Structure 1
Amino acid sequence: MSGTARGGRYGSMGAVPTVARWWRTRSDPQRIELYTRWSYYSFLVALPVFLLLAVASDRDTASRGLPLLLAAAVVTTAAALHVTRRGFADRTARPDAVGLAVAVVGGLAAVGTSLAATTDGPSPAVPWVAGLVGAEVLLAVSVVVPTRPLLAGAGVTGLLAGVASALDGNPPLAAAVVGASIALAVASVTVAFRFTVWILDVVVEMDRSRGVQLQLAVAEERLRFARDLHDVMGRNLSAIAVKSQLAGELVRRQRPEAADEVADISRIAEQSLREVRDVVRGYRGTDLAGELAGARSVLRAAGIACTVTGEEAGAALPEPVQVALGWVVREAVTNVLRHSSADECTVTLTGGDPVQLRVENDGVGPEGGAAHGHGLRGLSERLAAASGQLSAGREGDRFVVVARVPVRAVEEVR
C-alpha cells in the first residue's frame, strides 16, 4: 500500500514543493518584490470590503445604492490592479492612461452613487467612499509616481471628500474637518506604500551593483595578468627580434658570429618560456595564504561579510597540502559568489592531522549546491590525489564544504 502511495499513478507526494521551499528558492530582491507586489494587490482588492464596512453604518445608502456602489468599486479595483501590474512590469513608464481613466471614472461613479442614495440627511459613508476610491487610484499610480505628486493627489482626494460631505448636507466646517482627516489618512497610506517601492528599488540597485563589482574584480585580475605577461615578454621578444635580424645579416656575410647570435636567441627564448610559466603559475597556482586573503577581499567587495580563522595554521603545512586546500578555498568562494545570495561566509582552518578546512555560507541557492556539482567533483579528485576527502551539502539553512587532508601521508610521499 505504501509503495503504491509513493510511486503510483499520482507520483510522489514528497516531490510537491512546499511554500517554504518555494520561498527559499527566491533571491532577496525577488522576495521583496513579491512582498511589495502582493501587498499592493491585497490592499487594492480589499476596496469593496472597505466600502461595505463604510456603507454598513447607513441603512439608507446600503439599501438603495449598494449594487451600483459595489459595481463601481469593482470597476475601480480592476482598473487599479491593471495600472499597478503595468507599473511593476515597467518601472520607468508612465501610468497606463486608459486604466487610470477607467479607475478615476469608476471612483467618481462610486462617489456619485453614494450621494444619490442618501436622501434622508447627511451620511457618514459619503466622504469615506470618496477617500477610499481616491486612495485606490493613488496607490495604483504610486508604483511609478514619486511622492510629491502623490501628496498633491491626497490633497485632491481630501478636497473631493470635503465637497461630497458638504453636498450631502454637512456644515462647511464639519465637511472641511472630514476632508482634512481623509486627506491625512490617504497621504499616510499612500506614502507608506510608496516607501516599500523605494526600498525595492534600493535592493535591486544594490544587487545590480554587487554584480558589477564582481565583474570589475574579474576584469582587474585579467588586467593584472595581461600587464605581467607584457612586462615579461615585451623586452625578451624585442631582444629576439633584434638578434634575429643581426643573425640573418651575419649569415648572409658568412660570419662565424652568427652561431653565437642564434645560440643567444635560443637562450632568450628558453628564458622567456620559464618566465611565462612563472607568470601562469602565479596566476593559476594556489597558495593557501594568498587564496585566503583573496577570498576575504573578493567576498567583501561583493558585499558578503567574510571571517577567516586559523589562518596562521596554514603557514606550517607542506606545499602539496597548501595547494590542495587553496583549490578548495578558490572553488568554494566561487560557488558562494555564483550560486548563492549569501550575506556572510566563514572560512575555518583547523590544524592537526588531518588538517581540516571548513567553508560555510548562508543564502543557499535554489538547488542547494547541486548546481555546481561538477566543480565539487573536480575538487574531490584533486583532494584524492593528496589522499584527502571532501564533503559538501546543506546543514540547515547553510551550505558547508569540508576538506580534510592528511599531513603525514603527504610528507611521506614527498
Structure 2
Amino acid sequence: MGAPAVSPARVGRYGSMTAVPTVSRWWSSRSAPQRIDLYTRWSFYSYLGAGLPLLALAVTGSDLEDARVAGVRSFLVGSVVTAVAAVVLASRGLAAHRTGQRIPVRTPGLALGAAAVTGALGVWGFSAGAEPAPATSWAIALPLGMVLTAGSTIWSTRQLAGPSVLVGVLAGAAAAVDGSEAVTAVVVGATIAVTVYAVVLAFRFSVWVLDVVLEMDRTRGVQLQLAVAEERLRFARDLHDVMGRNLSAIAVKSQLAGELVRRARPEAADEVADIHRIAEESLREVREVVRGYRSTDLSSELAGARSVLRAAGVACTVQGVDDAGALPEPVQAALGWVVREAVTNVLRHSRAAECGIVLTRADGEVRLTVTNDGVPGDAAGTGSGLAGLRERLAGAGGTLDAARHGDRFQLTATLPTGSAG
C-alpha cells in the first residue's frame, strides 16, 4: 500500500504541522467571566506597565533643555521601577478578589515608596531652569497617580479620594516651588487631582464590574449545586416511599412467620412466601427508582428541566406539556432521556441565557425540539451522549438531529407515537 497523501495546506518547510488554534477560537472558548477577568487584568497591565514609562518619556521630552540630566535619567529609571511595582500591586490585588485574602501591606508600601522617590527625583531634575516647567508638576503626579490606579484593586472609591487630592496638592506645591504663580499652582493642582481621581475611578469601576461578574458566576454554581441537592432529596423521598412501606411489611410478616414456626402452624409457609414476594417487588421498585422510571413521565421531566435551567439562571420556556401525558410510556421514556441529555449539554457546554423546549404531535409522530443560545465557537454538536441518544431512538424507529445555527444550537428528536422504545 502506498503512503497516505498529506494535504499540501498542512505541509511546511519543516514537514507536516498540526493546525494552531487561532486567537479568536482561544477567546471564544473562554466563558464570559473569564473574558471579563482577562480584559480587566490586561487593561491594568498594559496601562501601568507601558503607560507610565511612555508618559514619563513624553514629559521629559517637553522640558529637557534646562533640566538636570542626572535627575531626569533617575526619574526615567524610577518610572520603570514604579511601573513594575504597580503591575505587581495590581496583579496581587486582582488575585485577592478571587481568593478573598488580603495582600501584604508591604506590597502597596513599596509601590508608594518607589513612586514618591521617583516623583522627588523628577521635581529635582525639572526644577533646575529659571522658568517654571510644567513637567515639574507631572513628574510627581504621574508615578503617584499610577500607583493609586493599581491600588484601585484593593482600595474603595472613598479611600482613593483623599490620596488623589493629596497628589493634586503635591503637584501644585511642586509648581509653586518651581516658581509658578499661586493661582497657576492652584489650578494645576486642582486639574491634576481631578484627572488622577477620574482615571482611578474608571479603573475602580472595572474592578467593580469584575467583582459583580465573578459573584454572579459563583452564585450560578451554588444554584446548580442546590438543583442537584433538590434532585437528590427527591430521589431520597422516592426511595423512602418504596422501601419504608415494604420493609415495614417484611418486618411484621417476619415476626408473624417466626411465631407460626414456633407453634408449628402450616400458615408459616404462606407468610414466608409472602415475604419473598414483597422482597422481590421491593427489588424491582428500587431498580425502577435508580433508573429514573418510577412515577416519572415526560411531563415531570419537562417540569424538572425548566426548574433546573431557571435555577441555573437560564430563562426556559416549555411548550406542549399537555400533549406529553397522552404519549405511550415507551415514547415518554425515550424522550425523557433526550430532555436530560439536552439540559446537561446546555449547562455544561454553553453560556446560554435562553432555552426553549417545544413538544409537538402530528401525523402519527411526536417531535421534541430543544433550542438554546450561547454556543461557543468551537462547539461541534457531537459527543458520546448524543451518539447514545441516536442509537436509543434509532432502536425505537426515531431520529435525532443536532445542528448549530450561528450562536444557537438546536436538538430535534422525532419518534413515531406507536413505537415501543
Q: Same fold (TM over 0.5)?
A: yes
Q: Is the 8 A contact 2:25 2:378 kept in 1?
A: no
1:309 to 302, 313, 319: 319
Letter in 1 for 2:54: V
User: What secondary structure does 2:120 align onto?
Assistant: helix
2:371 maps to: 360
2:41 to 37, 44, 60: 37
Letter in 2 for 1:362: D
Q: Is the 8 A contact 1:83 1:96 kept in 2?
A: no
User: For each residue in 1:250-291, what CA deviation from the matched residue of structure 2 results, as whole angstroms up to 9, or x when unmatched?
Assistant: 212222332343344344435544654564565567632222
2:16 maps to: 11
Separation (CA, whole Å) in 1 of partners of 2:137 and 2:368: 68
Structure 1 window deviating more from structure 2 (243-252 vs 383-392): it is: 243-252
2:58 maps to: 53
Letter in 1 for 2:120: G
1:335 to 334, 338, 345: 345
Indicate how the Cα distance of structure 1 residues 191 and 263 shifts in structure 2: closer, same or farther if over 3 A, else same. Answer: same
Separation (CA, whole Å) in 2 of partners of 1:304 and 1:324: 24
2:119 maps to: 111
Letter in 2 for 1:358: T
* Structure 1 or 2: more helix by fraction: 1
User: For each residue in 1:354-374, what CA deviation from the matched residue of structure 2 results, as whole angstroms up to 9, or x when unmatched?
Assistant: 53322222223575156x712
2:400 maps to: 390
Q: Is the 8 A contact 1:166 1:172 kept in 2?
A: yes
1:75 maps to: 81
Separation (CA, whole Å) in 2 of partners of 1:309 and 1:260: 52
Residue 163 of structure 1: CA displacement? 1.8
Identity across the alignment (%): 58
The answer to whether 1:165 aligns with 2:152 is no
Separation (CA, whole Å) in 1 of partners of 2:102 and 2:225: 32
Letter in 2 for 1:187: Y
Structure 1 window deviating more from structure 2 (215-224 vs 321-330): it is: 321-330
2:188 to 172, 175, 178: 178
Separation (CA, whole Å) in 2 of partners of 1:281 and 1:121: 88
Residue 199 of structure 1: CA displacement? 1.3
2:92 to 86, 94, 103: 86
1:256-271 to structure 2, matched below 5 A, reads 256-271=266-281
Separation (CA, whole Å) in 2 of partners of 1:256 and 1:320: 44
User: What secondary structure does 1:203 align onto?
Assistant: helix
Indicate how the Cα distance of structure 1 residues 86 and 53 shifts in structure 2: closer, same or farther if over 3 A, else same. Answer: same
Q: Is the 8 A contact 2:145 2:164 kept in 1?
A: yes
Please report the RMSD computed on the Cα atoms of aligned residues, expressed in angstroms.
2.8
Indicate how the Cα distance of structure 1 residues 105 and 275 shifts in structure 2: closer, same or farther if over 3 A, else same. Answer: closer
Letter in 2 for 1:235: R
Residue 402 of structure 1: CA displacement? 2.2
Q: Which ranges of structure 1 fall in alignment gaps of 5 or more residues?
A: none
Residue 25 of structure 1: CA displacement? 0.3
Indicate how the Cα distance of structure 1 residues 184 and 68 shifts in structure 2: closer, same or farther if over 3 A, else same. Answer: same
Separation (CA, whole Å) in 2 of partners of 1:62 and 1:11: 59
Residue 184 of structure 1: CA displacement? 1.8
Indicate how the Cα distance of structure 1 residues 405 and 57 shifts in structure 2: closer, same or farther if over 3 A, else same. Answer: same
1:369-408 to structure 2, matched below 5 A, reads 369=380, 373-407=383-417
Q: Is the 8 A contact 1:369 1:399 kept in 2?
A: no
1:136 maps to: 146
User: What secondary structure does 2:179 align onto?
Assistant: coil
Separation (CA, whole Å) in 1 of partners of 2:75 and 2:170: 17
